Structure 1
C-alpha cells in the first residue's frame, strides 16, 4: 500500500510528490501527460523557470523526482476511486488497482472552447487568459478582451497596469449601462455583435471578425468556461463551489476536501486566477498536510 496516491502529475501533483518523497513517504503519481498549459509556448512568473516552455519544466521536474526511491510515476488515468481514510482504492484505466492511505486530487481542468472558428486553433498563442502569464511580453500594445460577464469588468481595471489601449468585444452579452458608462470613462471602446471568427495575424496578434466588421488586436484575452478534466470528485461526492467560469473543489486551509483523507490542489481547487506558481504552492502544501495527517 502507498502512503499517498496523487491523481494528476502536472505542477500541483509533482510539487506534492516532491514534498512527500523528501519525507520518505511512498507515493504513486498517476498522470496522462496532458497538462492544461501544454498549448503555451512559454510559462511565466514561476521563480527560477521564467520564460521556459511548460512541458520542459515538467520534464525537468520528473527527472528530479527520479532521485527519490519512494516516488513512482505511473502513465495512466484513474478510472475509479473508492474507500475511506487510511484505505483508498484507485483502479487505473489499465485495470491496475492501487491502494493508499491518502489521496491528492490534482487532475486539473479543461477549457471549453466556444464554437468560433479559429478560437481553439489560436488558444495559447493569439488568445490567452492570464495577464500575469503573458502581459509583460505585449505591454503597451493594443489588447482585446472577450467579455464573459461582470467578472470581465475587473479584468479591464487589471489590464491598466500593462496597457492603455484596450478594446472590449461584447460578443452578444447584454452589458449593463453602468458598466458601459465606466468603460467609456476609461476610454475603452466596446465592439458589439457576435464574434464569428478569430484569425492569427503573426506573433501574438489576431484579427477578430464580427458580423459587420473586423478589428485587429496585438493579443486577445478570453476566459472560456472550464470543467474538471475527470469526474472522480463527483463519484466521491466531494463538495464544490461555483465560480464565474465553472466549479472548483472546496478545500480547507490544509487543502483537505469535504472527505477526510482526500486533498486537492491546482486548477481543480482554485476559484480565482490560476497560475503555475499557485499550483506548485498548493501542491506542496497538500503534500505536506497529507504527510502530517498520517503522523502517529
Structure 2
C-alpha cells in the first residue's frame, strides 16, 4: 500500500499532525518507537485543556482520537532509513519492514544532552527541568537552582526570578562577566561559583567545598539534537540554534528535501507540548495542501 503520508513519531506532534490529515480522509501511517521526550515527567502543565494531566494519559487520549478515523494506521516500530523521492518514498523499520508513502513527516522529537553531574539525569523531568512555563509554578515561589551550561544560562536564571528565589550555579560552564553579574544581582539572583559535586534528595546540591544547597526544584538548558539521524541521513539540512541542532524547515514546514516535512521539537524552538502541538497542526495542514497542489 502506498500511504498518502508516513508520520515518523507518534507522540504529541505526530498525533496533532495526523489528526489534520485523517480528517482530510488521507491515508496516514504513524510509525512510533514509544520514546516520548517527557516520559520522565509525572505531570504536564501549560497545555490548554490538559493542565496537570499525566503525559502518558494525554498521549493515550490523543492516540485514541486519531485511531477513531479509518484512514489512520499505527505501527509500533522504529524507522531506521528513508529512501526514494516525492510521491515514492520508502521507510525501512528496525523490524525489517518497508512502508511506502507519498510524503514523509518527521515528528521524532529531540534527545537532551545534560550536564555530566552525578544525580542529575535521574532527576530529569522530576525535580530538574528545562521549561519554567511548564514547571515553574509548582515550585511555589521557593528556592530555585539554575545549573549553567553556557552564557545563555544567565537569561534562564533572570527569567526564573519570576517563579522564585534563584541561585545560578555557574559550575565552571563559562566566565561570568561584570555586566551579566550586575544584571543577575539587580534581579535578586544569587551567584554560586563553587563547582557541583553531586545532586541528592529532591534537589540537594552538594558543592565541592562541602556545602549543601537545597532547592524546591532546578532548571538547566540541555543541548538538544534530533533524536534519530533519519533526517540527516535522508539529506535534510540541519541548523544550529541557541538550544542545539534542529531540522531546517521553511514556512510550510518542508525540509530541504522535497516531500519531507518536519514539525515539533525537532524542527522549532522553544520547546513545550503546546508549542509542538500547534506547530504540528500547521504541518499537517501544509502536508495536506502539498498533496492537493503538488
| Interval of TM-score (by shorter of Structure 1 and Structure 2) | over 0.9
Q: Summarize the alignment of residues 124-139 of structure 1 with structure 2, pairs less than 5 Å apart.
A: 124-139=125-140
Residue 271 of structure 2 is matched in structure 1 by 274
Q: Secondary structure at the match of 1:30?
A: strand
Deviation of 1:177 after TM superposition, in Å, equals 2.3
Q: Secondary structure at the match of 2:6?
A: strand
Q: Does 1:167 align with 2:167?
A: yes
Q: Which runs of 4+ in 1 moved over 3 A?
A: none
Residue 47 of structure 2 is matched in structure 1 by 46
Alignment coverage as a number of residue pairs:
290
Residue 253 of structure 1 is matched in structure 2 by 251
Q: How far apart in 1 are the matches of 2:194 and 2:248?
A: 36
Deviation of 1:284 after TM superposition, in Å, equals 1.0
Deviation of 1:111 after TM superposition, in Å, equals 1.1
Residue 105 of structure 1 is matched in structure 2 by 106
Deviation of 1:153 after TM superposition, in Å, equals 2.2
Q: Residue deviations 1:95-138, cap 9 Å, x none? A: 11111110000111111233321111111111011111011111
Residue 291 of structure 1 is matched in structure 2 by 288
Q: Structure 2: where are the runs of 5+ without partners?
A: none
Residue 217 of structure 1 is matched in structure 2 by 215
Contact 2:158 2:184 in 1 (8 A): no
Deviation of 1:223 after TM superposition, in Å, equals 1.4
TM-score by length of 2: 0.95
**RMSD value, Cα:** 1.2
Q: Structure 1: where are the runs of 5+ without partners?
A: none
TM-score by length of 1: 0.95
Q: Residue deviations 1:24-66, cap 9 Å, x none? A: 0000001011100000000011111110011110011111112
Q: Summarize the alignment of residues 55-204 of structure 1 with structure 2, pairs less than 5 Å apart.
A: 55-163=56-164, 165-173=165-173, 174-201=175-202
